[in-house]
Every structure is written in C-alpha cells, then in structure tokens.
Amino acid sequence: MDEGIYIAIPPGAIIPGVLPKFKIYLLSPEGHYSLWALEGNKVTAKQLEKLTEGGLKEVYIDLEENFLYEEYLETNLSKILENQATSVDQKAAIFSKVSINVVRVAFEASFGQGTMGPEAIKRTERMIRNALEFLTETKSLQALSQMIGHDYKTYEHATKVLWFTVAFLRDNPAILGIIEPGYPDVDEIQKMELLRQCGVGALLHDIGKTFVSQDILNKNGPLTEIEWEIMKRHPLNSLAMLLTTDIPEFVKKAVLQHHEDFDGGGYPMQLRGLHISILARVLRIVDTFDAMTSRRPYKDSLPPRKAIEIMIGTPPSNNIGGYKTLEQDHRDQGMIQCFDEDLLRKFILFLGKTKLNE
C-alpha cells in the first residue's frame, strides 16, 4: 500500500477513545506503509500503548487527509495537552502546529493573503514551542489547556497576543531593560529567557476567562451590569490559576494588571500610570489592538489603521474614566487614556516597520 504521499505525525496526537476521521498508517523497516487504523476506527488506550511500547515516534497519514488531521488537532487540543502519556516534545510540536495555523489564518484575515512567509512561520513556531516548554517547566500547562477546552476563541486571541508581544519587545530592547535591570548586558540565553517569560504572560493573560460562562464570553451585544462585573473578575481569576505555579512574579503581576488603564480608570485595582507594571502596559496595548482587528461576537474586525485611529483618539470628556462603557460600546470614541502614550507610539512605529512576511 505505497501509493500516495504520507506524512509523519506523533502518536501522541491521537487521543484514546476519540475517533479520528483519518486513516493511520505504519512504516515498516523495509520502507512500506501499511494501514493500522481505518477511517472511523476507535483507537483504544491499549492499542496506542502497544503501538508506542517499542518507542515508536511516528505514525503516518495520507497527505490528502491532512485537513482532517488538522481539524482533529484543533478540536482535541486541550485533551492532547492533558494526556499524561504524551511527551512534552510531542505536545510542543502539536501545540505549535495548531497555533501557527491559528496565527496565520487570523493574520491573513486581518492583514491580507500571504501575510506570513516561510521565515515568519519558522520564527513563530520557535516562539510557540518555547512558550509551551516553559509552561511545562513552570507547571502551568494545565491552566492553558483548561482555557483551550473552555473557549477556543480566547486561545486564538492569546496566541496572537503572544506573537505581537514577543515581536514588539524583541524590537524594543529598552523595554526589556526596564523589566530586567542589567539588560541588555546579559548573555543570549538570558535574553531569550526573558522574552520567553514575557511571551508566556501574553499567552496566559486571559486564562481566568475559564471561569466566565460561554454565554457571557460570546454574547452578541453589550453585557448587563452583572455580566460585566463577572467579566471584570477575569484578571484576578487568571492570577489565582497561576498562583501555585513557578511563573515569575513580574509575569503574574502583568497578568493581574492587564486591564489597568494609564489614567486610573481600569480594573481590578484602578492603578494609575507607572504604578502599572511595564509588561501590563504593553499587554494593554497589544490586547486592545488584537481584539479590535479580530472578529468579535458583537462586532466585525476593524482594519489595523482604523484600530490605531481609535486607540490614539481622545474620547468626549464625559466618557473619561468611564471604562465600563469605553470597554464595550463606545470604544470607537477614542481610548488614548487607557494607554502609556510613549509605549503606544513605539507600538505604532513597530507596526509600521513590521512586515509579517519577513
């Protein structure tokens, strides 16, 4: 059965008891492909165990069924990450494959077809693999998989915020210097580590939304006062989920403060100006920009230029400090008071020179 083109996938991508729609093949030492599981076959834990007993690292699928495999990964991503039997390497490979697709599709929707060239894809892959390894080391992988299982849209958004945050910070070493005094006079490994930690903060900033019901998260219209109160708890919930992990303190702080506004009108603590951590001030900008340029349940996506126009706009004076309405319906009246203007300027410069496909 050698006709066709086969591609290797890690056995850890197959969840015991969950039906894959695609066929699975094995490769013999003589180089022949043979059918192991038929379409719709229910793969049991025992069968899988037997298969991987001998240290088998790869099984194969027909290239023509690759789209079914990708669909399967997206649907089952949280289960794959929680599967104890799967190695960290395999999880990292699967997670980065799914996440790159998410980032690529989303960027193409916002910035046009072919936005991400091979180089950008490679860089993104490294970024995402790094983040997943770090999550494993710091015992916070479970928090991420809970979020993915609860609301896929939140995970999509988080992945893009990760991309923007790391790319922006890499382009602005002075900001990293504020996070870690002594930077950039540190070695390459320490530089990478710092970026990795910031990226993880970006990826995890909204995990507290796991405790917000889907009805509220995906509501098609403005939230009621009570719903809004529930929504506003998510930064605290995110922190609570990370409290017992080994994530660095400055990352936990940024997660807690990512909705604080520079003028003191944000939440949960109404911190003001430089009392808000620098990484939280960066996240406030990146998070808003990505939310506006993505499709939301209650609004179409905005072109990047229009989103920036709103972010640098001044709202009518009666709206200043009224973060409740600004956050929902009236954000298109101007949001400059939410941001550290110096950082926002740097972010706009970064967007101007970023060609995603380079």
**Binding stretches for Fe ion (CB under 5 A):** 206
φ, ψ of residue 19 to 5 degrees: the values are -70, 115
Look at the block and give the residue holding tokens 């695609």.
22
Q: How far is the CB of 259 from Fe ion (least distance, A)?
A: 6
| Residue of this chain nearest to Fe ion (CB atom) | 206
Decide whether 133 or 260 has the Cβ nearer to Fe ion.
Answer: 260
Decide whether 65 or 327 has the Cβ nearer to Fe ion.
Answer: 327
Q: How far is the CB of 258 from Fe ion (least distance, A)?
A: 6
Q: Are 297 and 219 in contact (CB under 8 A)?
A: yes
Decide whether 156 or 206 has the Cβ nearer to Fe ion.
Answer: 206
Decide whether 9 or 286 has the Cβ nearer to Fe ion.
Answer: 286
Q: How far is the CB of 190 from Fe ion (least distance, A)?
A: 29
**Integer Cα distance of 78 and 207 in angstroms:** 13
Q: Are 153 and 260 in contact (CB under 8 A)?
A: no
Decide whether 241 or 356 has the Cβ nearer to Fe ion.
Answer: 241
Q: Which of 178, 312, 173 is nearest to 254 (CA)?
A: 178
Decide whether 62 or 206 has the Cβ nearer to Fe ion.
Answer: 206
Q: How far is the CB of 143 from Fe ion (least distance, A)?
A: 14
Q: Which of 189, 186, 232, 191 is nearest to 209 (CA)?
A: 232
Q: How far is the CB of 157 from Fe ion (least distance, A)?
A: 9
Q: Are 332 and 87 in contact (CB under 8 A)?
A: no
**Integer Cα distance of 56 and 28 in angstroms:** 11
Q: Which of 254, 270, 273 is nearest to 324 (CA)?
A: 270
Q: How far is the CB of 216 from Fe ion (least distance, A)?
A: 13
